[in-house]
Chain A
Amino acid sequence: MADTDPIIRIRNISKFFGQLRALDNVSLDIFSGEKVVIIGPSGSGKSTLLRTINQLETVDAGSIVVDGQDLTDKTANINKIRMELGMVFQSFNLFHHKTVLHNLTLAPIKLKNIPREEAEKNAIRLLEKVGIAEKRNCYPAQLSGGQQQRVAIARALAMNPKIMLFDEPTSALDPEMIGEVLDVMVNLAKEGMTMVVVTHEMGFAREVGDRVVFMDEGKIIETGPPEHFFQSPEHPRLRKFLDQIL
C-alpha cells in the first residue's frame, strides 16, 4: 500500500432514504492502485457507498475527497471529477441509440475534444482489450449481457479514468457469461488500475482484492486482506454472511 495520501478519502458519511439510514457514519480510505472489494447482504448500503464516490448519490453528512477534491464542497465541479471515475453498472446502461464504437467515443469527443479519428482508434484498442472489437458496429441490443458489460467497461476506460467503480457488474449476467467479465476485470487489476468493486463474487474478491470490506445495515463491520477475511472472520455477522454464500 502506498504511503501517500489516499486517492479516495471518505469521512463519516451518512445517508438517509426517508427514515432508512442507508449509510451510517462510514469512513474509508482507498489508495492509488488499490483494489477494494465491498461485500455484504443486499440492503447493506454497499452500492449506495459506491455511488456516493461519484455523487450519483449525495450524502447527508460527512465528506468525500477524491484525488484532492472535496465532492461535498458546493463549488466542486462534479462533472470534471466524474471524468476521473469510470463506473460500471449492474444493468450495463449502454446507450441504446449508439453503436458499440460510438458508445465509447461519445464522451471523449464531446468532453475532452479528442478528434474523432483518434477517439475511434483508442476505442478500437480498448474493444480489442476486452475482446469484442468485431462487434464495434453493432447496437447494444444485438449483444449478449456479457458482451454488453465488456463494452460498458471499455466505455468507462475510454475516458482514461484514474479509478474504476464497479457496481455488482456480474449480478445481471447468466452464469456462463460471468467469467468473461471477471477476466476483463482481473486483467485491469493486473495493469494497476485503482478499483472499487461491489460484488457477490467471492472468488474474485479473494483473487484480486487487496482489501475486502464487509458492510451490514449501513455500517462497515470489518475490513481486512482477503486471506484473513475468509479464513478467520472475526465478526459473527460476517461469519454468518460467509456461511450463507460460500
Chain B
Amino acid sequence: MPEKKVTIDIGDGAAIPTKKDRGLLSAWRLAFFGAVGALLYLILFHPDPYLRLLKFLPDGILITFQVTFSSIALALVVGLITGLGRISRNATINLIASTYVEVVRGIPLLVQLFYIYYALGQFVRVPDMLAAILAMSFCYGAYMGEVFRAGIESIDRGQREASFSLGFNRTQTMFYVILPQALRTILPPVGNEFIALLKDTSLVSILAVSDLLRRGREFASESFLYFETYTMVAIIYLIITLILSKIVGIMEERMGGHGRH
C-alpha cells in the first residue's frame, strides 16, 4: 500500500535503542550498567571524595533538567512554527523561516549562547536562567523546524487530497490529518534532539547558570579535585542520557502501534 514507513535520521543525540538491541549484550546495556557499576564502585570504595560529590551535584542536575525541559518545550513551539513556515506557499513567510534556519545552523551554539545572552543584556535585564533557555530554544527551534518540515513532507499526498475532497481547508487538513500522522514519524528525531539538547545544556554553565557542569566546576575549584569531579560529572550525564534514550525508545514503540506496519 502507498503508506510507507519513513524514518528521519538525524544522528546528533544518543542512540535510541531499537528492537535489535534486545540481546543480553547490547551497547545500551553495556554502557548503562558500566556507568552504574562505576558509580557504585566509586561511592562505595572511595566515598571521599565521590560521595561528597554526589551530595554536592544534585542541585545542578535539577537545573540541567529545568533548562532542558523548558528549552525543549519552547523549541517545539518554535520548531512547529518554523516547520510550517518552511512549507508555506507564502514566499515571504517561507523566506523568513528559511533564513532563520540558515543563520542558526551557521553559528556555533556556544557563540549563539554568548551572543543572545549579551544581546538581551543590552536591552533588558533578563535572569541568567531565562536567557539561557531563550538561547537554547532559539537554536534548537531551528533544528526542530527541520524535523517538523521533514515529518510533514513525509506524509503521503493522498492524505491531503482525501482531506480536501471531504471539504477541509488547508489549516484543518494540517491539524486534523497531516500533523497527527507526522508527529509519529518525527518522534524518534525529536527524542534525539531532546537528548542532544540535554547534553548541550552543559554549555549554559558559561552563563552563570548553576547546572550540573557548573556545580562540578565549583566543587573542583574549591577542592582542586578536577579529575575526580569530571569523572563523576561524566558518569551522571551518561546515566541520564541513557535513561532518556531508553524512554524515547519505549515511547516510539508504543506510538508505532495501531498495527500500521
Contact = CB atoms under 8 A, between A and B. Distances in A.
Interface in B203-261: 258-261
Interface stretch (A62-70, A85-93, A127-135): A85-93
B168 A97 contact: no
Contacts of A152: 162
Contacts, number: 81
B259 A107 contact: no
A61 B104 CA distance: 44
Contacts of B184: 97
A83 B162 CA distance: 12
Nearest to B172: A110
Contact of B161 (A86, A89, A145, A155): A89
A79 interface: yes
Interface string A165-195: 1000000000000000000000000000000
B166 A91 contact: no
B162 A95 contact: yes
B176 interface: yes
Chain B CB within 10 Å, residue with most, of A56, A107, A142: A107
A86 B169 CA distance: 15
A85 B259 contact: no
A97 to B, nearest CB: 5
Contacts of B166: 82-83, 106-107, 111, 155-156, 159
Interface residues of A, number: 31
B11 interface: no
Contact of B3 (A80, A96, A156): A96
Nearest to B257: A139
A141 interface: yes
Interface in B147-181: 156, 158-159, 161-169, 172, 176-177, 180-181
A95 B177 contact: yes
Contacts of A85: 165
Contacts of A155: 166
A159 B168 CA distance: 12
Given A91-B1, A93-B158, A82 B260 contact: no
Contact of B169 (A79, A92, A141, A148): A79
B172 A141 contact: no
A80 B181 contact: no
B22 to A, nearest CB: 24
Given A96-B260, A139-B260, A141-B259, A82 B3 contact: no
Contact of B158 (A91, A141, A142, A165): A91
B2 interface: yes
Interface string B55-81: 000000000000000000000000000
Contacts of B168: 79, 107, 110-111
A44 interface: no
B3 A107 contact: no
Interface string B176-209: 1100110010000000000000000000000000
Given A91-B2, A141-B1, A145-B1, 17 more contacts: A79-B167, A82-B167, A86-B165, A87-B165, A93-B161, A96-B181, A106-B166, A107-B166, A107-B167, A110-B172, A110-B176, A111-B167, A111-B168, A111-B172, A139-B259, A156-B166, A165-B165
14 contacts: A54-B164, A56-B164, A56-B165, A82-B165, A89-B162, A93-B156, A93-B162, A96-B260, A97-B180, A111-B167, A141-B258, A141-B260, A155-B166, A159-B166
